[in-house]
C-alpha cells in the first residue's frame, strides 16, 4: 500500500468511527480482531444497500424466492457440501486450518459439534424441496437469502474487507444444464448493472476469470468481480457455476430426492445452479472508498462522502437558519414531521452554525440540506443545498418531495 492509500484507509476508518458508521467490535475491551459493530449511520447505509438489492432482484421479479435459514445447521450439511474436508487455509507451518467456526450444540454428554455457516448458500440447497413442494416453481427460478456468515479467518485485515463475521447476499439460481452458459452471461450483466446502481464507477470493477486451481471445490466456472481497494485490487463479489454439485450430493447423503420434475416433458433431473454472491460489508467498504472525497468549497478544505442518494444514510437534513428563533425552529420542525412520512431518512439539525451543519452533513454523505429562514415564513419557500456543488436554490416547499425522491 502506498502512503496515500494507507492514509485513505486510515481516514475512512477514522471517519467511520467518529461519525458513527462502524466501531471496532468489543472496543471497550481493547477490540476483538475480525469483528466490527455498525453504528446508526452504518446500519442505515447497509439497510439501504440491502433494500435496493431486494427491490431489484427479489420483489422486482417473480421467479426469485426469498428465504431465511438457520446459521447453525446439521453438521451433515457441511460434511456433504465439502466444507468439512476442504474449507481450509494454510497456516505458516503449511498445515491446513479449517476456517469454519466450530460450536457445541446441547449439554453434557449429549453435546455434539456443528459449525456456524461459512456461506448462506447451503441453507438454500437444503430447502430446495420445501420450495418446490410449496410453490411449484418452473425452471429457471432462484432462491435469495441475506444473512450472516462466519469464517475463522487466520488473519482478518483491511477493516471490513476480511472479517470473521460478515453478511452475505446470495442467490442460487436453478436452471437446466444446457442453459447454464446463457444464464451465467445474464447474471454477469446484472451484477455489473447492480454495482453501477449503488454508485460504484464502472471503471473501478474488474472481472477476474478464476483458474481451475483457484476455484472453490464445487465450481466449474467462477468470475470474481474485483474492486480497486486502497490495499489492492480484490474480490468484491462473485459469480459461480456450481453445477448440480450441491443438490446431487445432498440427495445422495440425505436419501431425499432433490430432483426437479418437468410436468410438460415428464423429465426428472437435478437442476444446475448459477450463484451470484455479494458481501454486504465489502460493498459498504467499496462504497465508502469510492465516495470519500476531499475538495475545497468556498476557499475552505472539506471532506465529504459522495454517496448515491438512494443509499445515503440521511437523504436530507432540515435546519432552522437560527436556533434561537422559535418561529424558525417551529416551522423547521413542522416541515420535518410533514416530510418524514414521504422521504426516507430525514434528519433535523439545529446544532452549531449553518456552516458547521453543512460540513457535518457533507461528511456523512447527506445529498441535500434544506434551510428554513425568515422568507420561508412569508412565502413557504426554502433553500435546497446540493452536497456536491454546495450550490443553493430557492424552491417552494411543495416541490421538495419530488426533488428529494
DSSP three-state, residue 5: helix
Q: Which helix (H) or strand (E) holds 221?
A: strand 221-229
Beta strand spans in 70-153 (E): 72-73, 88-90, 96-98, 102-105, 112-116, 141-150
166 binds ligand GAP (CB under 6 A): yes
Q: Where are the alpha helices (DSSP H) in 210-279?
A: 245-254
Q: Which of 11, 20, 153, 233 binds ligand GAP (CB under 6 A)?
A: 153
The residue number with the shortest CB distance to ligand GAP is 279
281 binds ligand GAP (CB under 6 A): yes
Cβ 225 to ligand GAP shortest distance, Å: 8
Q: Which of 235, 310, 322, 381 binds ligand GAP (CB under 6 A)?
A: 235
Name all contacts of 337-342 with Cβ < 8 Å and 24+ positions apart: 339/400, 339/401, 339/404, 342/401
Q: Which of 42, 142, 238, 367 binds ligand GAP (CB under 6 A)?
A: 238
284 binds ligand GAP (CB under 6 A): no
Cβ 37 to ligand GAP shortest distance, Å: 15
CA distance 136 to 261: 10
20 beta partners: none
117 binds ligand GAP (CB under 6 A): no
Q: Which of 8, 13, 45, 237 binds ligand GAP (CB under 6 A)?
A: 237
Cβ 63 to ligand GAP shortest distance, Å: 20
Q: Are 235 and 224 in contact (CB under 8 A)?
A: yes
Q: Which is nearer to ligand GAP, 83 or 357 (CB)?
A: 83
145 binds ligand GAP (CB under 6 A): no
Q: Among the candidate windows 66-74, 129-137, 234-242, 344-352, which touches ligand GAP by CB under 6 A?
A: 234-242
83 binds ligand GAP (CB under 6 A): no
Q: Which of 19, 83, 117, 151 binds ligand GAP (CB under 6 A)?
A: 151
Cβ 72 to ligand GAP shortest distance, Å: 17
- For residues 250 to 279, the per-residue mask of contacts with ligand GAP, x marking binding by CB under 6 A and - elsewhere, is -------------------------x-xxx
Place of cell 494507507: 6
Q: Which is nearer to ligand GAP, 36 or 358 (CB)?
A: 36
Number of residues that bind ligand GAP (CB under 6 A): 18
158 binds ligand GAP (CB under 6 A): no
Cβ 235 to ligand GAP shortest distance, Å: 5
233 beta partners: 228
Could you tell me the CA-to-CA distances from 110 to 98, 106, 107, 316 in Å, in that order? 24, 6, 6, 55
170 binds ligand GAP (CB under 6 A): yes
Cβ 223 to ligand GAP shortest distance, Å: 11
Could you tell me the CA-to-CA distances from 253 to 117, 224, 249, 256, 372 in Å, in that order? 19, 30, 6, 8, 66
**Other C-beta atoms lying within 10 Å of the C-beta of residue 330:** 13
SS3 per-residue string spanning 132-184: HHHHCCCCCEEEEEEEEEECCCCCCECCCCECCEEEEEEEEEEECHHHHHHHH
CA distance 100 to 119: 10
> Which stretches of the chain bind ligand GAP, using CB under 6 A?
119, 121, 151, 153, 162-163, 166, 168, 170, 235, 237-238, 275, 277-279, 281-282
Amino acid at each position: 500500500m502506498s502512503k496515500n492509500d494507507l492514509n485513505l484507509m486510515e481516514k475512512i476508518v477514522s471517519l467511520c468511527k467518529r461519525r458513527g458508521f462502524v466501531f471496532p467490535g468489543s472496543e471497550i475491551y481493547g477490540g476483538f480482531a475480525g469483528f466490527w459493530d455498525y453504528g446508526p449511520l452504518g446500519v442505515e447505509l447497509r439497510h439501504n444497500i440491502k433494500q435496493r438489492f431486494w427491490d431489484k432482484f427479489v420483489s422486482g421479479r417473480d421467479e426469485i424466492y426469498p428465504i431465511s435459514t438457520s446459521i447453525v445447521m446439521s453438521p451433515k450439511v457441511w460434511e456433504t457440501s465439502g466444507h468439512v474436508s476442504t474449507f481450509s487455509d494454510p497456516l505458516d507451518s503449511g498445515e491446513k486450518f479449517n476456517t469454519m467456526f466450530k460450536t457445541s450444540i446441547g449439554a453434557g454428554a449429549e453435546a455434539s459439534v456443528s459449525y456456524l455457516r461459512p456461506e448462506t448458500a447451503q441453507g438454500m440447497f437444503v430447502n430446495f424441496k420445501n420450495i418446490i413442494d410449496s410453490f411449484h416453481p418452473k425452471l429457471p427460478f432462484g432462491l435469495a437469502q441475506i444473512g450472516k456468515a462466519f469464517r475463522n479467518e487466520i488473519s482478518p485485515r483491511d477493516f471490513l474487507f476480511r472479517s470473521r463475521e460478515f453478511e452475505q447476499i446470495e442467490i442460487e439460481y436453478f436452471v437446466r444444464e444446457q442453459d447454464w452458459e446463457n444464464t451465467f452471461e445474464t447474471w454477469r450483466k446484472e451484477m455489473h448493472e447492480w454495482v453501477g446502481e449503488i454508485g460504484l464507477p464502472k471503471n473501478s470493477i474488474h472481472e477476474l476469470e478464476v483458474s481451475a486451481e483457484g476455484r472453490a471445490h464445487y465450481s466449474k466456472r467462477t468470475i470474481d468481480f474485483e474492486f480497486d481497494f486502497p490495499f489492492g485490487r480484490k474480490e468484491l463479489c462473485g459469480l459461480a457455476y456450481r453445477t448440480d454439485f450441491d443438490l446431487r450430493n445432498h440427495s445422495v447423503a440425505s436419501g431425499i430426492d432433490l430432483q426437479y420434475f418437468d410436468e410438460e416433458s415428464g423429465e426428472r433431473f437435478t437442476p444446475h445452479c448459477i450463484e451470484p454472491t455479494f458481501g454486504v460489508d465489502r460493498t459498504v467498504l467499496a462504497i465508502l472508498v469510492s465516495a470519500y472525497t476531499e475538495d475545497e468549497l468556498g476557499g475552505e478544505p472539506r471532506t465529504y462522502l459522495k454517496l448515491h442518494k438512494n443509499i445515503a444514510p440521511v437523504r436530507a437534513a432540515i435546519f432552522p437558519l437560527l436556533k434561537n428563533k422559535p418561529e424558525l425552529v417551529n416551522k423547521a420542525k413542522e416541515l420535518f414531521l410533514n416530510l418524514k412520512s414521504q422521504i426516507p431518512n430525514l434528519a433535523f439539525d439545529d446544532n452549531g452554525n449553518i456552516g458547521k451543519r453543512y460540513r457535518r452533513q457533507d461528511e456523512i454523505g447527506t445529498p441535500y440540506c434544506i434551510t428554513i429562514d425568515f422568507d420561508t415564513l412569508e412565502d413557504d419557500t426554502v433553500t435546497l443545498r446540493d452536497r456536491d456543488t454546495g450550490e443553493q436554490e430557492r424552491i417552494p416547499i411543495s416541490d421538495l418531495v419530488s426533488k428529494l425522491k
